[in-house]
Every structure is written in structure tokens, then in C-alpha cells.
Amino acid sequence: MNNKKINLYKLTLTSILIALIFVMSFTPLGYLNIGVVSITFISIPVVIGAILEGPAIGMLLGAVFGITSFIQALKGDPFGSALLSINPWFTAILCLVPRALMGFLSGLIFKAISNKTTSKVSYITASFSSGFLNTIFFVGLLLLFFFKSDYIQSFGTTVPAVLTAMITFNAVIEWIACTVIGTAVSVAVNKAVKHQKKA
């Protein structure tokens, strides 16, 4: 596979993943609403791009994910709308920064581990990290920006109480889905690309 074909492959894959993020964001495919905080599966295309194309593309896809999250808040998502009414600038940062960082760091994690092992450990670790980091960064910034607001105080008056309310089985389901699907798809696509290179 020459450089022109490699660049075309990267552009095509990135475009497909961006399109998938938008489709998932504005259809029931991307979110599972259980309680106040939704489970999101949009981390999956982000980590697939981060694994297959590197940290920079992971950050780009994460940023796209963040933009769609902010659009959801503008469109009336209950949780996002509540935060938007408190501080729109903090809400924009909350939507964008954790997702972009998640994509970038997932790509770095895969790159670092894959240099030391040829097993699926790198795929599994990077895929798990996407959902985990998304939760940690999002909840961390949420507490930093909004903990003293009446809305967040309704979840609990202490940091541990809010963490207990925010990080429940919803987050665990998200982590498991990211790990299983992200690993399976990334491994399959990478095998297909290697086979094409040999052709």
C-alpha cells in the first residue's frame, strides 16, 4: 500500500468515524437514558480512531464528540440544559475538553503499550481507557465548575455523595461496552489493513 493509498485510507476512516459520531449523537444509538445521567457509547468510535490512526486523530474525534454533546445541551438535553443555564462557558468546556483529552490519551496509551507487546493487551487497555477517562475527566470538571451550584448540590452536598450519584453502574456499562466493542472493531480493522498492505 503506497503513501497515497494510506492517506486515502486514513481520510476515509476518519470521515466515516466522524459521520458515525454524528449519527450516534442524534439518534438513540449513542445514548442510553437511565436516570439523570445518560450512558454514552460515542466513546467507541473515538477510541477506534485513536487506536488505528493515533493520538491526533483521537483528539479530533473526541473534539467532534464534545461539539455534539454541546449541541445536545443547546437542543434541550435535561442535564446539559441545566448546566447551560448556570454557566454556558463552563458547559462548553465541560463538553469539549474531557472528550478531546480522552481521545488523545487513549491514542497515546495504545501507542505506548503496543510498542512493548504484540498481544491484544494494548487494544483492550486503550479501549477501556476511553470510557474510563471520559467519565473521570467529565465528572472531575463537573465538580470543579459546578459543585457549588444548587443543581449539583441536589445530587449530594459532599464530593463523595456526588461521585456516588454520578459514577454508578451506568459508568460501568459504558466502560464494558467501550472495552468489548472498541477492542473487537479495532483488531478486525487493523487485520484487514495489514492484509491489504500485503496484497
How does pLDDT run across 119-145, given as a tens digit for each residue? 688 999 999 999 899 989 999 999 999
User: What one-letter code names the amino acid at 42?
Assistant: I
The answer to whether the Cα torsion of 116, 173, 139, 21 is positive or negative is positive
Q: In sequence order, what are the residues at sequence separation of 6 or more whose Cβ sits closer than 8 angstroms to the Cβ of residue 128?
A: 175, 178, 179
3.40.50.300, 1.10.4030.10, 1.10.1760.20, 3.40.640.10: CATH of 3-198 = 1.10.1760.20
Please give the average per-residue pLDDT across 8-27, as a whole number. Answer: 89
How far is CA 181 from each of CA 48, 127, 135, 173, rounded to the nearest angstrom? 9, 8, 17, 12
**Is the per-residue pLDDT at 32 higher than 80?**
no
pLDDT at 35: 56
**Is the per-residue pLDDT at 33 higher than 70?**
no
| Mean pLDDT rounded to a whole number for the chain | 86
